[in-house]
Structure 1
Amino acid sequence: MFQTFTAFYDKSNPVTLFVLLVLSLYFIAVNWVFFYRLFSLNQWINTENQSLESLLLGSRQIPDYAYLRHFTASSSHLSAALFDMASYAATKESTKGLMMLSVVASTTPFIGLFGTVVSILDTFKHIGGASGTMSIIATGVSDALVATASGIFVAIFAYTYHQILKRKAYELSGLIRMQGDALLSKEV
């Protein structure tokens, strides 16, 4: 395995190696953003679930630990507009990091393709200077395609993580809207 890696490293174009380094850093960043946001959103959703349950079980005011408490404490009158503003603020907070995941998901295949094209050009340059057989071409092209495969690999994770976190943000926003509706229904 190590010999295969060193052989790949020795044969690869520096641009392709740089592309693979960038894709590796993207992959680390994507995983960090995802797991950090996932754990924080899950905790926030659990908190808002508890708050909603307490409201549905008869509580007439929002618990101190709920997100809506920040909005109800600063206002003497509860209104749909106040809860809409709270929902928008929660959506803004809960979708942090999604833009980065979206950008990575859409750009990494192109970054990988760039590394592949540079590596294929390098392979053809070396073949032109020597008498090459089809096995030399095939080896060069297959090594070049590692960059494209890496770009697609990172994009799959980034896109999947984006969709999961987007769904969690939607769930959270719904919980906050339901709490606002529950409080407004008790005002009447």
Structure 2
Amino acid sequence: MLNLALRSFAFLLLFASAALAQSPGSRAYIGEDVYVASGQQVHNATCIFCSVQVEGDLTGHVFVLFGSLNVTGHVEKGATVIGGNAVVDSQARIGGDMTVLGGNAVYESDDSLGGSAYVLGGHLSHVPLAHGEARAHPRLSLGPLFSVLLGVLVLLLLSALLVPQIRRRVIVNQTS
């Protein structure tokens, strides 16, 4: 158990250091919100335990862990939110796929999402603005009950693989 805790801590440190090793024009924060103002251009945005507000242009990807994403501007590639919610305004645009794990997603127009939208553990809500909109890419939402069942199944499989099997030793009584 201690070994697992040490490995998890080491993984967290590596992940945090990789997130903070920013390329030029990118923003990565832990516990501090990322704000891309209107008229401003940023390459990638990574946020852990915080939220991202995009009103300007983001030329790469946005990743949010345990926070929320609010897009009123433009995200050229994809968006991933884990443990939070995503809201995409009708005038906004995400060029790639949007993935939300353990939260909800709301988008107002199919034109706002250039790729697919996947929500696992929450709800995907579309606020229709026009009556004849046709969806160009798949939109998939798997509710919280399915996610809980999937999580239990994964834990059972991992415990079956990782927990060593206990073999009973047969004690032979040798009396002469």
- TM normalised by structure 1 equals 0.22
The structure richer in strand per residue is 2
The structure richer in helix per residue is 1
Higher relative contact order (CA 8 A, sep 6+): 1
The higher radius of gyration belongs to: 1
